[in-house]
Structure formats: C-alpha cells, structure tokens
Structure 1
Amino acid sequence: MEKWFVINKGADFEKLGKEFGISPVTARLIRNREVIGEAAFERYLYGSLKDLYDPHLLKDADRLTDILKVKIEEQKPIRIIGDYDIDGVMSTYILYRGIKHCGGNVSTQIPDRMKDGYGINENLIDQAKRDGMDTILTCDNGIAAISEIAHAKELGMTVLVTDHHEIPYTEENGEKQFLRSNADAIVNPKQQECAYPFKELCGAAVAWKVLQVLYEKMGFALEETYEFLENVAFATVGDVMDLTDENRILVKEGLNRIHRTKNPGMRALIFQNHLEPEQINAYHFGFVLGPCINASGRLDTAKLSLSLFLQGEEEAAKTARELVELNQQRKDMTADGVEEAKRVVEEHYMSDKVLVIYLPQVHESLAGIIAGRIREAYHKPVFVLTKAEEGVKGSGRSIEEYSMYEELCKCRELLEKFGGHPMAAGLSLPEENVDKFREKINACANLTEDDLIPKIKIDIPMPAAYADAGLIREFAVLEPFGKANIKPQFADKNLSITRAFVVGKNQNVLRLNLLTAAGEAVTAVYFGDIEAFKAYYAEKYGSAEVEKAFRGQINKLRIMIVYYPEINEYNGVESVQVIIRNYQ
C-alpha cells in the first residue's frame, strides 16, 4: 500500500523559465526541491566555488588551526583518529595529506570496527600516548566522546575535534542540556553557538574547511585545497548527506575533478569496477565505488581503504582489486542476512511500529546495510542488532517521520553507547537489555498508521509521451541527484498496455508498449519484481487478460505509473523511453 501525492509548490514557472533559459517544467522541478526566489535559482543552477561559505565562520576553526600551526612548526607528533566508513576514510586522508603538505609530523589511526567500535576510545588514546603523540585530531567523530577526551586530557595531550554528528545532550523537564567535552577546540557546524550558515556538511567537508583555514595560515594558496574536492564529494554522497546548498556545489565541483583525477588509488578503484573516470556520477559514488571503500571497514580494516589513496599505481591496482572482492563477499553475506531478518520480522514482529531485529550470527558490520534493506521492505524504522565481542551492537535506519537519535535518547538507560543522526544511528547494549529495548523504543514511538505508509512524491502529472530528447537532456541541470535532490518523478494515468514482454540477459526486465489517453505510443521499462506485477494485474483484471497482454493481444489492462523519462540508445539510434518506478 502506497500513498501517491503531487508536490504542489507555487511560482511563476513561465517567468523563471524565460529568465534562466529553461523550460517551465524544469523550473517547476527546481522549485519542488525547496529552491525559492531568483537568487536561490541562480545558486542552484550556477553555484560554484566562489559561492561557498567562509570557513572562518565555523566555530573554533581559527582556534583549532592556530593550535595546529604551532604543533606543525614545533614538529610535535600529531595522531589523526578517523572512522571506518567512507566519510571517516576521506576525512582522515584529507587531513593527513594536508598536514603532511604543511610539514607536520603526522600519523593516522582508524578504529577497528570489531575491536574498537566507532570513533575515538581509551585504547586508541593510550596507544597514541605510548607512541609518543602530543596531539590527537579527530575527524568524523569525537563530538560525543566526553569521557574519552577527558582521559586524553588527563594524560596531558592536546585534543582537537572535527566532526559533523549530532551534539549529545541530556534532557531535564523537556529542556535540552547540550554536552561538551574539554577538547582544546571543537569544529562542528551543528554546535548551537556556531554561526556557519549550512549545518549539513559531512565529516570530510568539515575537515576540508579546517584545512582551508590552516593552508591560509601556513601561507599556501586556497586553490591548493581543491585537489581534495573529489574526496569531499565522494564522502558527501557516500555518507548520504542532503545534496542541497553547499553540498550540491561541493559534489558538482568534486565530480568535475574526478573526471580528471590524478590519484592512482581513485583511478584504480574506478578501473577495477570497469568504469572510466569521465563516466563517474553521484550514483557511482553511492552505489559502486563507495560500497568498496566501506567493505574494508566492515570485513577487514578501513586502513586498507585509506592506504589505497596513498599508494602508487602498482600497489593501488592490487588494493583496489582486494576491495572489489571484499565488496562482493559483503554483498553475498548481506543477502543472507536480509532473508533471515525478513523471516524474523514476519514470524514475530509484524505488528511493531519500530522493528528491533536481533541476529546474533550476522557479522556486526552488516547491521546498517541490512537495516536499510528492511526499512525499504516494510517502511518502518529498523534497528538490526548483532552479537559483538562484548554484549550486543547494532545500527538503525529510519523513515522521515522518526528521528532515530532523539528516540534513542529516551532509552539511554538501557544502552551502553549510542550516537548518530535523525535517519541513522549506532548503538551498543548488554544482551539482557535487547527485549527491554524493543519494548521501550516501541512504547515511546508516536508513529501513526499514516506515518508507516510509504509516500510517493510526484513532481508533475505529465503525459508519458510529453518529454522529448531535448527536455530530457535539459534535466541534466538538476544533477547531481541524491538525498533531498532526487531524480524527478512524473505520473500518468489511464494508460493501456498493448504489449508486455520479458527481456534482459537474466529475463529480469519487463518491457511494456503503452498507449496514452491521447493515443500516443510509449515504450516503458520496469526493473522490479515481474511476478508481483503479473499477480497484481491478474487479481485486478483476471489472469486471462494478463496473458493477452503478454501475447500482444487486445486486453482490458489499464495502468497508472510514476516514471522518469530517459534517452535509450541502441545501434546508434536514439529513442525516448520511460522507466517505471511505481504502478497502480
């Protein structure tokens, strides 16, 4: 069951179209992405590096870089502590290469997911102390490490934090008290006192902004930081940040640079996935290259991914091959975990509003991916818990209507550690608290039945035959697509199916010849579950009518679709087809 609704944002689309040299359809699509007013349109369409915000606006950016400059000049040993996902790896790489360029005495450490868990911890701090480190610099973590940073300070170390996660807080009488560690400087745009105008940067973008300030103080040109834009873009998409405002510019600029990347590791990773640098778009970051980087942090150590970007050509080719193989292994293990999770839900927890699934045998690093797949299947917030070396660890993935981090705050007495965002979170708890946690998180959930119905947002109801190749090419101005800037979705109703056939190497693609209400022929393609499609229409119209459609005979089938038009090229001939996203 889905709810389809049209996004109805008002504006003078004709006027905007004329002003920016685009069609009124494209103008409406941009307005639907919460872009309001001519200045915002200008920035959306033509935003470039000159439109980025001043990094000095980040609270403590000057303080942190002043300290860092002295440490570099005094050759004090600096240890960067990152995280094991793509954002953590990219942040670590940016800071390491940048500080090295400034002449700093710098080394890196990325936590082992299984042994250390997320972020900075006492073991890593003690190890840094034993290694003779003077300063710890965190990236993509550290904001919630109150006691750990206190421990580092007791050992006499300087601690500098760069992060982008939610600020931890306690709540008394409905009032939030935000917590702050005693780090020497904390750069995180989410801090309440931070004047930075855009709060949705990923960890790598925060690290890059800090590096910009450092380069300025060390006498290097700002342009020298641009070599890291491809890493910032990679992390922004990989960490599923909103592709709005500044993030949109960073990803656009990063993609331009990755098309000409000189980094042997980046090139090797692209080639190992049978791609060319100039082909790369945001989709490849999120679904092809990114998972290879994350796979090492899941099944091996993320140090492998970090090393890829620091290697020469020969070594990089070998490491990239290893990462692609690890990712394949991760995919197979994930598929098994998803099947098991669905079985558990359907046997025990279908009536729960928040799904808490304990899978003791599943590799703990796969919890987040499995949670994401289960959320897609049932459109409910999901926590997948697995057995760890000590107790239970887990990851959550949410729906728009449910702020995961805030809800976990209500269960803090049952948890040992937790952190995250509204849409995703990580947690650890004693095994005996699993059932109590399931009960409490559900008891606290204020989700209505309506919240649990998937919402399909339609940009414009538009005849499926309307878009020509010119208009489809114009939609490229909307890219890069991703979270909060999704591919446009159109809808058309009362289409008849003149022919249906199954195609593709694995016979897993449904091709439909459709006729619009005005009698125009349209070719459509559907990549979803073909058997479910047949069953849906058999129930509605009878199996005989479905059979007729598959034989190309006149039939009674009528279909309503949510679609995206694209240009199909076959044997050098271009034609327009629509990709069906949803049907009724």
Structure 2
Amino acid sequence: MSKKWNVAAEPEDKYIKELMKQPNVPILITKLLAQRGVKSLHQARDYFRPTLEKLHDPFLMKDMDVAVARLTLAIEKGERILFFGDYDVDGTTSVALFMHFFRGVYDNVDFYVPDKYTEGYGVSVRGVEYAAKTNCQLIISLDCGIMSHEAIDNAIHRNIDFIVCDHHQLGDTIPKATAVLNPQRPDCDYPFKGLSGCGVGFKFLQGFCQKHGIDPTPLWQHLDLVALGTACDVVPMVEENRVLAHQGISYLKKSTKPGIIALLQVLKKDQATVQLTDLAYSIGPVINAAGRIAHAQIAAELLATEDPKEANELANELNRLNQLRRNYDQKITEEALEIASSEESKSGLVLYKEDWHKGVLGIVASKVAEKIGKPTVCLTLSRGEVTGSGRAIGKFDLHDVLNSCGDLLSQFGGHTSAAGLSLKEENLSAFSDKFDEEVQKKLNGKEFVSELNIDLEVELTDITLSTASIIDKMKPFGHENPMPLFVAKGVKSTEVPRILKERHLKMKLIQNDGDQAIDAIAFNQADQLEIITSGSFDIAFRLEINEFRGSKILQLNIKEIRSSVD
C-alpha cells in the first residue's frame, strides 16, 4: 500500500477576501474557514457560536408529528413505554437520555438493552417478548430498528405499537412501525442527515416539548448525554452535531448526573476541563466495554442512575471490564495481523478464528484495516453462528460491498466505513471469496492509497500562539471536521532530539537560519530519529498550547515525518 500526503486545494480568493474583512484575523485562519464551507462573515459568526438557536425545527423530520402524537396518546392513556437501546455508547446514552427526561414528565417507563451475543444487532424478538411480559403498549427503539423488520412485525402482532428512532442506513424497505424517525430516509426532508442515534432521540424529545409548550430548559440539561453519544459514534462533526456537541460539553462540565461524575472520577478526568476528545477516546471505550465483554445493561444503568453509590459501583465495574477488553484486544490483534500476512494477494480481508472474543472484533478490524490498508472483516464463532465486524479505510464504501454479499449473510448493518454482520458457518468460505471479489470490483484495478489529509502548507514563521488560540476556538472537531493539520517542508532540529520513554521525540524546530525555534513533540516516532538528524525534513503537524506554571507555550504535535523531497 502506497502512502500519500494529500494537501487540500486552497480556497478561492474571493472567500478569503470576504473573511479578511474581520480585523485581526490571520490569513491562515481565513483559509481554514473557507475550506470548511465558511465563506462569509455571517457564516463565520455561526461557526464560532454554535448556539441552541441554530437547531432545526424537529418537525421537519418525516413522521415527527406521528411519533409525537403516539407518545402523547401513550401518556394520556397511562400506557407503559419501553425504551429499547442499542448496546454501544450511542444506544446507551439514548436510553439514559429518555430515562432522565421522563423522570420529570411520566414515570410509567422502562428500558431494555439487548445482549450482544445472544440477541445480536438491532431490536430483538426477546426484547419484544420482554415488552409483552411487562405489559408495554409502546416500544421506542433508540439507535436501532431500521433493519429490524421481524422484531417489529412481532411487536405489532402482539398489539404493541412501535416508534423507530435510528440514523443507520436503510434497507430496501422501511419497517412497518407507527413512526420511523430517521433523517436517512429518502422521503425525509430534514436539513441535516448526519445526526447520531442519540441526536435523533433528542430531536424527538425536542419535538415533544415544542408540541406541548414545555419549557425545554430541563431537556437542555441532558445534552451532556447527547454530546457523549455524538462524540463516540461515526457521525460528521458539522452543522447540527457541532451545536449539540459544543453545548453538550458545556453541560457535561457542570453535570450533576452521578453516572457521569463517577465515570470521570474513575478515569481521573477533571470534569471542569473535559474535552470532546476525552469522550471519544477515554470515556467512550469504557462504556462500550460493558457490551463487548459482559452486558451493556451495566452501562445504561450507570448513565441513567440517580444514586451516587450505585454509580460508583457500576463505574468501577466498567473500568474493570475495560481493562479486560484491552487484554483481549492486544492478543487478538496480534493473531489477526499474522493471519492477514498470509493473505497478501487479497484486496479484501476476511479473518476468522472461532475462539476470538466477539466483543473486540470491531476494534481489531479497525486496527488491521489501518495497518494493512485493506477493508477488513474479523469474525468468530458465537452460539453456532459466524459473527463479527468490518471496517474500511478512507472513503471506501464497506456497506455497499456487504450489500453485494447480502445473499450469503444472515444479517448486517452499520455505516459506510463500519458494520456488524453475521452468517452461517457453511457460507464462510464463499463469503470470504465474494467479499474479496467485490472489493476488487469496486477498486477497478486501482491500488489502495493511504492518504494523510492535510489542510494547508505553511511556513513556521506563520505559526503563532494567537493562531493556535483561534484554532482552539474552532472546536468541536471530529469526523469530517478534524482538527487542522498542517505541513511544513524543509525544517531542521536545532539539536539532537531527546528520546522520551524510548518511544517519543522532543525537539526544537526552525525552517530557516535565524528563525525562532518552536517546541515540537512526535509521539511514538523514535524510529524517525535518523531522518531528523540527517538534515532537513518535512513534518505534518497540529498546533497545541502547553500551559506550564501559568505560561502558555506553542507546541507542534507532529503526526508524521518524512525526508524532504527536492
């Protein structure tokens, strides 16, 4: 697999000139904004102020009026309502969102989270049976349901109405539910298609408040959960998601939810300074560990509880499960890479071992796909069926490939670059061949190219502490709106870099003789020491601000290093 640094084209001058009308804004910042679709001063103000007023009218979503009407009827009739959530962060935060909201509105509610291993992906028939057994007349699925035709039909047969709140891609038909809230529906005119499952659930509650003239302020208090669900799912951090994440982080910093407080304490995170990256890379994996290793019910109970003692116990249990998850992850990744090395001729990898732990296969597939540079499916045997997860690299459409293999699969679902699937053991060999064939067909003879997408090429003299401070105000960053990445060519280290913990490099860089040196760090790149000490080199980096004893210092966080190209 080849490697390419892909520097984005600079935006049109007319947009840069328009944004430069705002005084004291560095041209580097105007270029970044224009690249991200911000092309006027009005749009720039909206970008830097993602306020709740920017949220769309929930009733623009198809079936919102029907969903709100059916929920209203359930409350008026005193019906029991079951919230059915998926087993990942997006699903468990959705369940907790509804439980917290309805504590102040209506108490005849319950929630259910499926067992990943015994019930599989989506709404399960066992969950519907639980609803019937507990006399529920309405099920609201959260972050799942769009592909759960059998379970929904089963519910309807039992005289249980169904409202689907989902954001995943649709199949050929829409479930026969009372209402289906999903901005991905082709007949849905909702302006923003990229909501998380928790985001769709939030819009439902927003619509309920709006319809009944309920003060939405109590609902805003639960944006901490929406930010967590949004940050931890594969959704674009643009438009409405930026509003939900930005506002949600603010509420999370002052959240009184025992579950969130306990989680942050267990992870030794300062609640007052927590960032979106903490949600995605520290808190999210711990929550997901419940569904991967044991049962996601633990995570849902933690996020929904109002009992501090229970929250502390559950948070410690989640932390224990996450450590176990890490151990599985490391071992299975090593085994998967070994199998992958024996299948170099294939364009699409299907890796299988019957004793792998199902709960970490998504993580393993992601690591293998990134390292090998090929779409990867990791599978294991679970309860008589082959099941697992797939991940793709770059813009490759994994979901489309799996759709082409649909005749060999029992079930599959997910996003463009990430999916879960299951199949009969006798279909494994045929699926492996068909998956490779479909990947090759999609590539059409082209080689996989791993691209490092870079925003701008800059001179180090253009980089200042003020620039870094403005970029910091461009948060939240995430999928499709990443933290800016720059390239500087022909830089030199003013000294032999210090090696930290045998893995990291600490140095000071200049681009031209006489320039002021800038601090830089390169994590896990000690193997690049020879390139650095051989002369000039190119760096791809992000800007960050280090605070030490009250002083702020600009630092380059180097992502990749390569020899300078003449």
Q: Shorter-chain-normalised TM-score: which range? A: over 0.9
SS of residue paired to 1:240: coil
For residues 426 and 513 of structure 1, what CA distance do their matches in structure 2 show?
45
| Whole-angstrom CA distance in 1 between matches of 2:100 and 2:212 | 14
Once residues 377 and 98 of structure 1 are traced to their aligned partners in structure 2, the CA distance between those partners, rounded to angstroms, is 43
1:149 alignment counterpart: 152
Q: CA deviation at 1:571?
A: 4.7
Match of 2:79 among 76, 80, 99: 76
State the match for 1:118 in structure 2: 121
2:25 matched residue in structure 1: 22
Task: State the Cα distance separating 1:500 from its structure 2 match.
Answer: 2.9
- Find 1:327's aligned residue among 307, 322, 330: 322
1:315 aligned onto 2:293: no
Q: Please state if 1:392 is matched with 2:394.
A: no
Residue number in structure 2 paired with 1:480: 476
User: Shift in Å at residue 477 of structure 1?
Assistant: 2.1
**1:349-402 deviation digits (Å, cap 9, x = unpaired):** 222222211132221011111111112212221111111112111111112332
**1:575 partner amino acid:** I
Measured after TM superposition, the shift of residue 574 of structure 1 is: 3.8
Q: CA deviation at 1:558?
A: 2.2
Distance 2:253 2:446 in 1: 44
Matched with 1:500 is: 496
Deviates more, 1:282-291 or 1:450-459: 450-459
Deviation sequence 1:276-311 (CA, Å, 0-9, x none):
111111100100011111111111111111111213
CA distance in structure 1 between the partners assigned to 2:344 and 2:23 by the alignment: 50
Which is worse superposed, 56-65 or 460-469? 460-469
Q: Distance in 2 between matches of 1:180 and 1:471?
A: 48
Tell me the residue number matched to 2:64. Answer: 61
Q: Are 1:42 and 2:37 an aligned pair?
A: no
Contact 1:500-1:511 at 8 Å conserved across structures: no
Distance 2:514 2:455 in 1: 23
Per mean C-alpha deviation after superposition, the further-off stretch among 237-246 and 463-472 is 463-472
Q: Which amino acid aligns with 1:5?
A: N
Offset at residue 76 of structure 1 (A): 1.1
Native 8 Å contact 1:401 1:447 kept in 2: no
Deviation at 1:101, TM superposition (A): 2.6
What secondary structure is seen at the aligned counterpart in 2 of 1:18?
coil
Decide whether aligned partners of structure 1 residues 324 and 449 sit closer, same or farther in structure 2, where only a CA change above 3 A counts. Answer: farther
The 2-side partners of 1:395 and 1:298 are apart by: 12
Q: Which residue number in structure 2 is paired with residue 377 of structure 1?
A: 371
**How far apart are 1:448 and its partner, in Å?**
5.4
> For residue 555 of structure 2, what is the aligned residue in structure 1?
577
Report the Cα distance in structure 2 between the residues aligned to 1:574 and 1:246, rounded to whole angstroms.
Answer: 32
Report what 1:3 is aligned to: 4
Match for residue 253 of structure 2 among 259, 266, 288: 259
- Figure out how many residues of one structure are paired with residues of the other and give that number: 555
| Contact persistence 2:502–2:526 (CA under 8 A) | no
- 1:149-548 aligned within 5 A: 149-169=152-172, 179-309=173-303, 310-346=305-341, 348-445=342-439, 446-447=442-443, 452-504=448-500, 506-520=501-515, 521-531=517-527, 533-534=528-529, 537=531
Compared CA separation, residues 399 and 503, structure 1 to 2 (3 A): same
Amino acid at match of 1:508: R
C-alpha RMSD over aligned residues: 1.9
Aligned residues: percent identity? Answer: 29
Contact 1:75 1:104 (8 Å CA) reproduced: no
Cross-structure match for 1:174 = none
Q: Contact 1:500–1:510 (CA<8 Å) still a contact in 2?
A: no
Instruction: Please give the per-residue CA displacement for 1:290-338, whole angstroms capped at 9, x wherever unaligned.
Output: 1111111111111111111213222212211221221122112111111
Q: Deviations over 1:57-85 (max 9, x none)?
A: 11111111111111112111111111110
* TM-score between the two structures when normalised by the length of structure 2: 0.94
Contact between 1:418 and 1:428, CA under 8 Å: does it hold in 2? yes
Q: CA deviation at 1:464?
A: 2.7
- Residue in structure 2 matched with residue 552 of structure 1 by the alignment: none
Amino acid at match of 1:455: E
Distance 2:559 2:278 in 1: 20
* 1:53 to 1:20, Cα distance in 2 relative to 1, 3 A: farther
Does the Cα contact within 8 Å between 1:72 and 1:102 map onto a contact in 2?
Answer: no
Q: Which of 90, 107, 125 is residue 93 of structure 2 equivalent to?
A: 90
Q: CA deviation at 1:209?
A: 0.8
Residues 1:562 and 2:562 are matched in the alignment: no
Question: Cα–Cα, structure 1 residues 328 and 239, in superposed 2: closer, same or farther, change >3 Å?
Answer: same
AA paired with 2:319?
A: V
Inter-partner Cα distance in structure 1 for 2:190 and 2:81: 27
1:572 Cα deviation after fit: 4.6
SS of structure 2 residue aligned to 1:224: helix
Judge which range, 34-43 or 382-391, deviates more: 34-43
User: Residue 352 of structure 2 contacts residue 379 of structure 2 at CA under 8 Å; is this kept in 1?
Assistant: yes
Rounded Cα–Cα distance in structure 2 between residues aligned with 1:265 and 1:287: 18
Is the Cα–Cα contact under 8 Å of residues 540 and 561 in structure 2 kept in the other structure? Answer: yes
Query: Kindly tell me: are residues 449 and 575 of structure 1, through their superposed partners in 2, closer, same or farther at Cα, counting changes over 3 Å?
Result: farther
Equivalent pair of 1:414/1:433 in contact (CA under 8 Å): yes
Task: Decide whether aligned partners of structure 1 residues 518 and 18 sit closer, same or farther in structure 2, where only a CA change above 3 A counts.
Answer: farther
The separation in 2 between residues aligned to 1:385 and 1:308, in whole angstroms, is 30
**Once structures 1 and 2 are overlaid, which stretch shifts more, 567-576 or 323-332?**
567-576
Residues in 2 aligned to 1:409 and 1:426: alpha-carbon distance in whole angstroms: 12
Q: What is the distance in 1 between the residues matched to 2:447 and 2:418?
A: 17
CA 386–36 in structure 1, closer or farther in 2 if over 3 Å, else same: farther
SS of 2:20's partner is helix
Report deviation, 1:201.
0.3
Question: Using the alignment, how far apart are the partners of 1:37 and 1:111 within structure 2?
Answer: 47
